[in-house]
Structure formats: C-alpha cells, structure tokens
Amino acid sequence: MERGSKGTVTSLSSLFPVEEAMKAELRVKEAIAQRTKELDQLNLFISENSSLMNLVQRLPDEISHEIMVPFGKVAFFPGRLIHTNEFLVLLGDGYYAERSSKQTSEILHRRAKTLESKVEGLKAMLLDLEAEASFFNATAAEAAEGLFEIREDYIEQSTNIATQNQTGALESNADPSSRTSGNRSSEDEEYARMMLRLDELELEEARADENASGIEEEELPDLDDETSARCSGDEGEDIKNQPHKQDESIEGNVIKSLGMPSNVKMEEYFPRLEEKISMRTTTKGEVFKDNFSSHSSGDRAADNLGSHSSGDRAANRKAFTGLIVERDFSSNEGQTFSQLLMADSAICRLLVLILQNQFLDSRCRGETADFLVT
Amino acid sequence: MARNQVWVVVMDSVRKEKVHKFEEFVDRRLKPDLVHAIAERDKVFAQQKVFSDLKRNIELLERNGVTNLRTLVNLGSEVYMQADAPDTRHIFVDVGLGFHVEFTWSEALEFISVKEARLARQIEEYTHLIAGIKAQIKLVCEGIRELLQLPG
C-alpha cells in the first residue's frame, strides 16, 4: 500500500497542450482534405466510366459515326469512326486487347466494381479521420477549459490489510521479526504495529499493577507521547478519575449479562477489547455502536469509519468520561457481546483501525484517513 | 541605465515584430506567388511542346504526302476505336479562346511558328517574373538576417 503514489492528478493541458491538440487536429483535417480530393477524383472516374460504358454500348448501333478525329491536342481532322464493334482496351502495363462492345462493357463493369470498393474504403477512412479530428477538437477544448485527470489505481488490499492487522493484534505474542519480514511491509504499517504492541504491553503491565494493589487510584497507563500529552491536557482530571469506576461498571454489567462467575476478571476474557474501549471512550457512543453493528453484520462501513476518524476525532479527544461506555454496553450488552464474541474478527479489525487511527492521526492524518477509506 | 534597458527591450520587441512580419511576407505572399508563377510557366511549356509536336506531325504528313489517315481515337479510360480521316489536307487548329480555324498544311505551319514565338515570349516573361520573386525572397531573407545579426 504505497500511500504516496496512491493517485495522480494531472491537468489535461499538461498531457495534451492546447496548441499540440490543435496542431494535431489541423493535421488530421489536412489529411481529410487530401482524402476528400482523392474521393472526388474516384467519383469522377466512376462517372467517366459509366458514361463510357454507355458510349461503348451505343457505338455498334451504327456502321460509322461522323466525328472530328483528334490530331494531337490542339488540332483535328474531320473524319468518322469505323469498325464500331472493335475496341482496343488497355489491360494495364501497356498491354492492349481487342474486344467487342459487349466484352468491353464487361471489362468496364469490373473496373466500376473496383472503383466502388475503393470508394467504400476511402469513405471508411474519412469517417475514421473525422472521428479523430473531432476527438482532437474535444481534447483541445477540454485542455483549454483546464480539465484535470484524476487517476487512482484500484488496490484490492483493504481486506488483506484488515486481516493482517487483525492477526497481528490477536497473536500479540508472535515474533515481531516474523511480521516485519512479511512480504508487504510499509513503514507506516510497521510503525503502527509496533506502537500497538507497545501499547498492549504497557496496558498489561498497568493492569497487573492494578490487580496487585487493588484499590488505589491508578494512572492511566502511558500509551505513547501523544496519548500521554493528551491525558495531561484539559481533561486530565477526568481521565485520572474515571477509569477505575468505568472498569468496574463494565465488568459488572457484562459479566452479569454473560453469566460468568463474578470473580473472573473481565479482562481475561476480553483483555484487549476492554482496554481499547476504555481508552477510546467517546461521547458519541452511537458512532461506536454503529461501527460494531455494521461490522458484525459483515459490512466494512468504510464511510462510518471515515467520518469517525475525521469528524469525531476532536470530540473523542476531549471526551474521556467513561460514562458513555457504560451506557454503550448496557444498551448493547446481551446481543452485542454475543455477536462480538462470534464476530471477534470484526471487532479486532475495528479496534485495530481505531487504534491505528489514534496513533497515526497526529503523525499522518491525511494518510490515515486514506488508509481507513481504503 | 534603466531607461537604456527599457529602450533595448522596446527595440527588441520591435525588431522581433519586424522579423515576424518579414517572415510572414515571405511565407504567405512571395512563396505562393513563386509556386504559382512556376506552375503557369510549366503550362506554357506544355503548350509549346504540343505545338512543336503538331508542327512535326504536319511536316511528317507533308513529307510523306499523306492525304487520308487511319488512326485510333481515345474514347476515354484508355479505350480506343479506329477512326478514318478521309481528307487530311485541311486541318482544324485551336487558335485559342475556343476558336478552331481550318488551315491548310502551310497555313498551319505558319500559324504554329507565330504561336511558338508568342509562347517563347510568354515563357521568357514568366522566367523573368520567377527570377524577380526569387530575388525578392532573397532580399527579404537578407533583411531578416541583418535584423537578427546586427542588433540596434
């Protein structure tokens, strides 16, 4: 997925300069004029041929015809045509044959057919040339208007990327070297994966701390510079206060609904899921919900994600309340979670996408949006 | 200094314009004229050849005393038919403007010599015209060269 060379935008006038297009059109028009002249000449031949056929058929009607016998180009004698059923016909290459009137008219007939086929060919050629000329004309006009050509290759990788990311997320213990040795290792992707892995490790660590100490209020684990910076922002207080309560509430609800023993920790079943969701709390639970449902129904919902990544990002950043997560789950809990369990690949995909979004957005916002859309 | 530069620039544009005009004059006026004149002269040459052929043929008839003639007439598209001219002592010759005059052989030869002289004069005129056009083209080309080579 080369994001740099994803699409190209070229102005039509840079591909086909207006003057060049006009020149080409002019050239084609010249060719058309030449062909038209040839066509006219052929038509002249045809008419001559038909009149000659007429003449040849009429001449033997009489023994002789009074004519002026040409003598050179500018002189003639008075005289008459004799042997009116004898014609000397040029066969070509200087060979002549003596033919009767009927035979001559047959020869002329064949000549007429050849001429007609030639005319047909010439007409087809003229049509082609005219189409070409009109194309050049249109191109020139478009180039003059300042049209742009936007070209983007169709890359059938969107599902591959998702699955790869998903597997990367699932097998979080897998050797990173094996992943980096993967055939298609774009730098950005690798960076995102590394950050994901770091994030997971840190969260695990933090949770272990939490489990050990139990009650004291914990810091939200550091993700990376960006997230910590965000945490230390205006909503720093909220973030510090909320996670504990939020965790508990989620556990309570979900575990109850799934009928699990209450002493089993939620995060052992959905370790990463919970982390991500608690990390990624949003005021707009609907978006989240939408994403989940659309994913579990197998749809990729690229639009949703796109809007989420671009439009709601600011809102996400500010809103770290955690209350919404509770509501989100309680509204969805029974059905959504069973669906999630079944369609965990979809979840993972979504989470990975969200996480990537989160990490990448400060670094390469535009590219992330691109990525999500693809 | 700045004024000088402006002057140079103005002169430059003026010169460019002039060169352009000259070139256009050569391409649009003189060269078509030259082509036309040469074509006209070629026509006259062809005419001259026709008349000299006629003259030779009449002289041939005269020398051999041919009074009747059997020949092939081109009906068009290289289809020929035999034709008989019973009396060749009188010949109709095109004298121009669509008029044909009945001549005897000697009258025809006289007319042809006059016509040939006229054609020769025409050819000379056209040759002069062509030379003049060529000279003009050379002159203008030289002017352009001067404009380009010897700036202000």
Which of A73, A87, A114 is best to mutate for the B interface (most B CBs within 10 A)?
Answer: A73
B152 touches chain A (CB under 8 A): no
Query: What would the mean pLDDT of A111-123 be, rounded to a whole number?
Result: 93
Whether A50 and A134 have beta carbons less than 8 Å apart is answered as no
pLDDT at A44 over 60: yes
- All residues at 6 or more sequence positions from A283 whose CB lies less than 8 Å from its CB, including other chains: A315, A316, A318, A319, A321, A324
- More confident: A133 or A274: A133
Tell me the chain A residues in contact with residue B67 when contact means C-beta distances shorter than 8 Å: none
pLDDT at A222: 44
Sign of CA dihedral A39, A43, A45, A46: positive
| Mean of the per-residue pLDDT values of chain A | 65
CA dihedral A82, A86, A90, A95 (to 10 degrees): -110
In total, how many domains does chain B have? Answer: 1
- Cα A225 versus chain centre, distance: 36
Region of B84 on the Ramachandran plot (φ > 0 left; ψ -120 to 50 alpha; else beta):
beta
The encoded tokens of residue A63 equal: 């023994």
Q: Is the pLDDT of residue A319 over 50?
A: no
**Interface list for chain A against chain B, based on CB atoms closer than 8 Å:** 45, 48-49, 51-52, 55-56, 59, 64, 67-84, 86-90, 96, 104, 108, 111
* Helical residues (DSSP H) of chain A, grouped into ranges: 12-15, 18-58, 101-145, 158-170, 176-180, 187-213, 225-231, 236-258, 266-269, 271-279, 285-296, 302-311, 313-318, 323-342, 344-363, 365-373
Contacts of A48 in chain B (CB under 8 A): 76-77
Chain A residue numbers touching B78 (CB-CB < 8 A): 89-90
Of B51, B69, B76, the CB nearest to A52: B76
The distance of B6 to chain A (nearest Cα, Å) reads 31
Are A1 and A189 in contact, with CB atoms under 8 Å apart?
yes
Beta carbons of B79 and A59 less than 8 Å apart: no
How much is the mean pLDDT over chain B?
88
The rounded percent of chain B whose pLDDT value lies above 90 is 43
Which residues in chain A are contacts of B49 at CB distance < 8 A? none
Handedness of CA A259, A265, A269, A271 (dihedral sign): positive
User: Are residues A69 and B82, on separate chains, in Cβ contact within 8 Å?
Assistant: no
Domain that holds residue B110: 2-149
CATH at B34? 1.10.287.370
Round to whole Å and give the CA distance between A49 and A297.
78
B104 and chain A in contact, CB less than 8 A: no
As assigned by CATH, the class of the A7-151 domain is: mainly alpha
- Report the range out of A12-16, A152-156, A330-334, B79-83 with the highest average pLDDT: B79-83
Least confident of A42-56, A75-89, A352-366: A352-366
Residue A282 has pLDDT above 90, yes or no: no
- CB-CB contact of B71 with B85 (8 Å): yes
All residues of chain A having their beta carbon less than 8 Å from the beta carbon of residue B55 are none
Beta bridge partners of B83: A81, B71
Domain ranges in chain A?
7-151, 158-373
| CA–CA distance, B12 with B44 (Å, rounded to integer) | 47
- Please report the pLDDT score of residue A139 as a whole number: 80
Mutate one of A74, A86, A103, A115 to test the B interface: name it (highest B CB count within 10 A).
Answer: A74
pLDDT in tens, B24-71: 888 988 999 999 999 999 999 999 999 999 999 989 888 888 888 888
Q: Which of A48, A79, A90 lies nearest to residue B84, judging by beta carbons?
A: A79
- Judged by average pLDDT, the poorest of A169-173, B4-8, B53-57 is A169-173
From the number of C-beta atoms within 10 Å of its C-beta (0-12, 13-18, 19+), residue A298 rates as exposed
ipTM here: 0.75
Q: What is the pLDDT of residue B47?
A: 92
Structure tokens at B32: 């078509």
